[in-house]
Amino acid sequence: MPAFLRWFFDLGPTNPIAVRLVTSASRRARHHYIRIAYLGLLIIVLLWSLLIYASREDLTLQQLAAAGSTSFSIIAFLQIGLICILAPVFMAGAIAQEADPRTWDILLTTPLKATQIVLGNLLGRLFFILALLFSSLPLFAVTQYFGGVPGSTILASYFVAAGAALLVGAIAIALSVSRLVGKRAVFAFYVCVITYLAITFAVDRVFGAGGVTWMTALNPFLALMALMDPTGYPTGPLGTHSGPARWFLEHPVMTWCVLSVALSTLLIVISAVTVRIGGIAGAGGLIGRDGSSGKGALIDPSADKQDAGRAGTNRREGQHERHRGAKEVWRNPISWREAASINATLGRIILRWSFIAIGVIWALIVLWLYHNGTWNSTIFRQVLTATVVGELVVITLVAINMSATSVSREREDGTLDLLLTTPITPGQYLSGKLKGMVAWLLPLLSVPVISVLLAGIYAGFGGFGRADSAEVTGTIIQTFNNVWTPPGTPAPAAPAALPTVQVPVVLPEAGLVLALVAIPFVALCVIIGMQWSLRSKGTLGSVTATVALVGVIAGVVGLCAWQAASDFATLGPIAGALSPVTAAFSVIQPEHAMNATVLREGGINNAGGLGVARISLIVGAIIAALLHIAIVYAIHASMTRSFDFTVRKLAGLK
């Protein structure tokens, strides 16, 4: 074999690290179930979409093409969302290597080159993500039988998703090689990705003016939107810009693909350069070759004296503590302990209250900018929607991270063994943890609730001198009313007369609806995280599994609730309240979220449609709260019954 081919194969196909990762992980049942669930979910969503949009008897070819294009758009966005959720699950092992420097010590003693180490880890783990991605290609090809979806658009959507997967993998490998983060890097990674997507989307909505912006090429969802909806989200006219603006504004899809590959390549090069010197931290002299810090590697001759001094201090503190008054705990000591231990450090206290203060202040700023006329109602509602949705997602991730490590962390440090020697029953232990974490999360949940509550009060009092209602031109949701058109094709003509309806900028009952839906939903996320934490051997596995499960469930339920709220009159808003995101969208933009109910078929200008939608939404919020509470109770009862067996099964594992 020529030397060049041998060198090339050693970097990729025959790389020993990549081969080991692929062969070992392919036998894992969890990865097998993930692949089955991924394809099964896409198939179910595609069939559901086709049944809704192509179930009419008098179906024309144009309507059939619209059904195929709409179904393709739904599963294309769902696929990118699933890739963003599942990619860190497969890449978590690479991030976790930093937590055990001995893994690197053994790896660095092998004759493998730095590029082989980095590319082996990347390609071996990225293989499963790309396999998931391209396994759905036959499913996407089926939509071409209905017409309306050109093959170039399908391939372009795959390039957008592949670029996102490659970038996620490169960032995970860079985190692993840098040795700057620990086991919580997976959670921090999710938070950063969600925050980045929310900020770029909000900036695009505020400054976009209905077309692509500089943010489009920096966000895979916006790039896919520019590809799927060239008439509703148009790019800049060809030849009207020059330099970087031409790439970002005229070719956002191609720019996203190029930027994702370029940034991934840069991260791989940096990782290859720093992998043998202890990562980025080692390059700065903070971490030695053995993975320990520079200060910790030195032996302090005065350590014995310092230990003796600390021992004397501890004795003096122990004598002082005898005279300190006992703290009052809650009725369930586990609840008090859980809520108090989370605030055990100054950093956590500062982060928690900073989030609350910044969120409330930002809500007031947004409301003031709308009141003084700086923003119109469209920008105000878009910014408020992006803010509330971003806050809900971050709070959900915080809840998952806390709950998914609540039991496994205590198993790893031996605290669980001590608790099991007390008279506390499994039911008290589990309910105590649930109540303690929910109690700690309530102030965080108050931020999005207060944001929409203030806007609802503002609208309820007539805008305090500003008109809080705007005449909205309605687009009745009728099947195939909007037909997807390829780039360059003129958009279909709008109907001659469209109904109009007066809607408040935010529904006055917005705070009540969001609180009814969000609090039980977060409790459900906490109990799911606790269940995986109880069953998992370590914190990393429980966090990744919980994020993937909650992300898939919330995504599917949210997608169905979103579509049902818009398509079905009266009953649609009830289904729309099943997800906090769709509930927030419904109270902020009711004429869009609950279109079929607010704007009646036949173009009737009837304010009663909005009243029916508001009542249905409140009823749906109550039903959603009861449903989530019932599921929480059922999972808690199941965990209580199997607690002893599960704990004994995993006893001694760390």
Instruction: DSSP for 29-94, please give it.
Output: HHHHHHHHHHHHHHHHHHHHHHHHHS--TT--HHHHHHHHHHHHHHHHHHHHHHHHHHHHHHHHHH
Distance CA 529, CA 636 (A): 12
Max mean pLDDT among 89-103, 151-165, 590-604 falls in 151-165
The answer on pLDDT for 135 being more than 70 is: yes
pLDDT for res 180: 56
pLDDT at residue 513, rounded to an integer: 93
Is the pLDDT assigned to residue 315 strictly greater than 50?
A: no
Query: In the 8-state DSSP scheme, what is residue 470?
Result: E
- 164: its two tokens: 């996102």
More confident residue, 595 or 94: 595
Query: How many Å separate Cα 349 from the centre of its chain?
Result: 24
* Predicted confidence (pLDDT) per residue in 358-392, tens digit: 999 999 999 998 888 888 888 888 889 888 988 89
What does the pLDDT read at residue 624?
A: 93
- Average of per-residue pLDDT values in the chain: 75
Of 538, 531, 585, which is closest to residue 400 (Cα–Cα)?
Answer: 531
One-letter amino acid of 437: M
- Could you tell me if 94 and 104 are in contact, meaning their C-beta atoms sit under 8 angstroms apart? no
pLDDT of residue 284: 47
Q: List beta partners, residue 469.
A: 504
In this predicted structure, the answer to whether residue 57 has a pLDDT above a threshold of 60 is: yes
Read off the pLDDT band of 400 (50, 70, 90): confident
- Stronger pLDDT, 215 or 331, i.e. the higher one: 215
If one compares 436 and 28, the residue with the highest pLDDT of the two is 436
Please tell me the distance from the alpha carbon of residue 146 to that of residue 484, in angstroms, as a whole number: 13
Q: Please report the pLDDT score of residue 501 as a whole number.
A: 67
- Token output for 132: 């998931």
The answer to whether residue 471 scores a pLDDT higher than 60 is no
**pLDDT score of 64 more than 80:** no
**What pLDDT band is residue 289 in, cutting at 50, 70 and 90?**
very low
The pLDDT tens digits of the residues spanning 523-549 come to: 999 999 888 888 877 666 677 778 778
Q: What is the mean pLDDT of residues 611-624?
A: 91
The predicted pLDDT at position 308 comes to 46
The predicted structure's pLDDT at residue 151 = 79
Which candidate, 92, 116, 95, places its Cα nearest to that of 276?
Answer: 116
Q: How confident is the model at residue 570 (pLDDT cuts 50, 70, 90)?
A: confident
Distance, in Å, from the CA atom of 556 to the CA atom of 562, rounded to the nearest integer, reads 10
- In percent, the amount of the chain with pLDDT more than 90 equals 13
Q: Let me know: does 596 contact 590? Beta carbons within 8 Å.
A: no
Instruction: With both helix axes pointing from N to C terminus, report the angle between 539-567 and 510-535 in degrees, rounded to the nearest 10.
Output: 150
Kind and range of the H or E element at 500?
strand 500-504
Q: Higher confidence at residue 554 or residue 513?
A: 513
Closest CA to 168 of 49, 87, 283: 87
Residue 190 CA to residue 81 CA, distance in Å, equals 12
In terms of average pLDDT, the best of 65-69, 117-121, 429-433, 482-486 is 429-433
Reported as a pLDDT band with limits 50, 70 and 90, residue 62 is: confident
Place of tokens 């009052």: 328
